[in-house]
Amino acid sequence: MHDYLTDAAFVEWLYVELLQRPPDDGGRQHYLDVLAAGHTRLEVVRSVATSAEFFDLLCQQRFGPQTGSPFLRSAPPGHFYSPIPSAAAVEALRQRPESFDPTLCAGIDLQPDRQLALLADLAPFAADMYFPDDPAAGWRYHADNGSFAPGDAILLAAVLQWARPKRVLEIGAGFSTALMLDTITQGRAGEVALDAIDPEPARVRALLLPGDERRLVLREGLVQDLPASAFTRLEARDILFIDSSHVLKLGSDVSFLLHEVLPRLAPGVLVHVHDIAWPFEYPAGHYGHGWAWNEAQALRLLLTDSRRYEVLLFADFLVRARRPAVRQIMPALLRQRPGVPLDGNSACSFWCRIRTDA
């Protein structure tokens, strides 16, 4: 690679081409020592091209608009002006002592005892619920999936039987759709009009059984494109089931749902929001996957000091903070996917209701 250049000239060229500046004395000497130790020039290029300095230049689109983004140009990931969290913030979250004190979420009336009382009302509906661990003939839902845990499935099936909604509108289709269809076709929930919308519905289509096209209206698209009537026709005891992108940003589904839909729902409508962990914060491991979700924090803001929303069931809080009571009332809520530790989290559904007295 540029064999006609001396090592000193090669390092000079590399800095100017990739870092857009002359080499500093320390950097020049470092790479000269690396080359003198027998490393190849390609290894030196790889070192510079994977450096934080070169990444920042890419983010700033210093090599043209084909790299980076205007939003990365204004603030690199983790910067205090960036919506992407920093590695330091994630580590601080990882080190934060665990606490289930309800006052951590000041202004939100959790009423854990009332949640447990509702769980007791739901328990008879869950007592004889069965679904297989693995894909099985005649079943749409199975527990060994990575998106809708068996605890969440038990809770959803119980709520369907308890509320007996006329209509369910599901935002984000998948294994939850499969579970609802299994529950409905077993005659457990009465006549339910089930509508779902998803930008990538192939996953749920692969789970459907023959005849499901008569039981489910499945739309491919964005929830933002639905007419207002899709939401305003929901009545008391109907369900708006939200399993979104989990990202609040300009034009996102979360922005639309929190700002345009929830404030217009009729009193008595039940609302489910998926992947909400206590205390309205995602586990540190989520950020390790690169998921910069922020729906939970936005939901917390919506609920704080609001008389419009009544918390019904905060599953993650219950199974972690009130585990002995949950085990006594509804042990099926603690069911795990095969291979998952029994003491792990088994449900992350958040259920609330539009108050009738707000």
What pTM value is reported for the model? 0.88
pLDDT at 76: 81
Task: Clarify whether residues 63 and 133 are in a common domain.
Answer: no
pLDDT at 55: 87
Task: Clarify whether residues 170 and 67 are in a common domain.
Answer: no
Decide if 1 is inside a domain: no
Task: Clarify whether residues 268 and 317 are in a common domain.
Answer: yes
Task: Clarify whether residues 36 and 166 are in a common domain.
Answer: no
Looking at the chain, the whole-number percentage of residues with pLDDT higher than 90 is 84
Whether the pLDDT of residue 185 is over 70: the answer is yes
| Residue 159 CA to its chain's centroid (Å) | 21
Partners of residue 197 on adjacent β-strands:
171, 219
Task: Clarify whether residues 85 and 122 are in a common domain.
Answer: no
Q: What whole-number distance in Å separates Cα of residue 240 and Cα of residue 176?
A: 13
Task: Clarify whether residues 253 and 329 are in a common domain.
Answer: yes
Q: How many domains does the chain have?
A: 2
pLDDT grade for 77, boundaries at 50, 70 and 90: confident
Task: Clarify whether residues 100 and 70 are in a common domain.
Answer: no
Decide if 2 is inside a domain: no
Q: Where is the domain boundary, 56, 74, 93?
A: 93
Q: Where is the domain boundary, 57, 75, 93?
A: 93
pLDDT grade for 118, boundaries at 50, 70 and 90: very high
Please, what is the average pLDDT of the chain?
A: 93
Task: Clarify whether residues 222 and 311 are in a common domain.
Answer: yes
pLDDT at 1: 61
Mean pLDDT of 158-186: 97
346-358 residue pLDDT tens:
789 999 999 988 6
Decide if 126 is inside a domain: yes
Beta strands, E only, 243-356: 270-273, 309-314, 350-354
291-341 residue pLDDT tens:
999 999 999 999 999 999 999 999 999 999 999 999 999 999 998 887 777
Task: Clarify whether residues 197 and 257 are in a common domain.
Answer: yes
CB 241 within 8 A of CB 171: yes
Decide if 198 is inside a domain: yes
Mean pLDDT of 95-114: 94
Q: Where is the domain boundary, 93, 127, 162?
A: 93
Partners of residue 242 on adjacent β-strands:
171, 273
Decide if 296 is inside a domain: yes
Decide if 42 is inside a domain: yes
Task: Clarify whether residues 57 and 128 are in a common domain.
Answer: no
Task: Clarify whether residues 45 and 140 are in a common domain.
Answer: no
What CATH number is associated with residue 282? 3.40.50.150
138 CB contacts (<8 Å, ≥6 apart)?
A: 209
Domain span including residue 294 = 96-354
Beta strands, E only, 200-290: 216-220, 239-242, 270-273
232-288 residue pLDDT tens:
999 999 999 999 999 999 999 999 999 999 999 999 999 999 999 999 999 998 898
Task: Clarify whether residues 111 and 69 are in a common domain.
Answer: no
Mean pLDDT of 179-208: 95
pLDDT at 358: 62
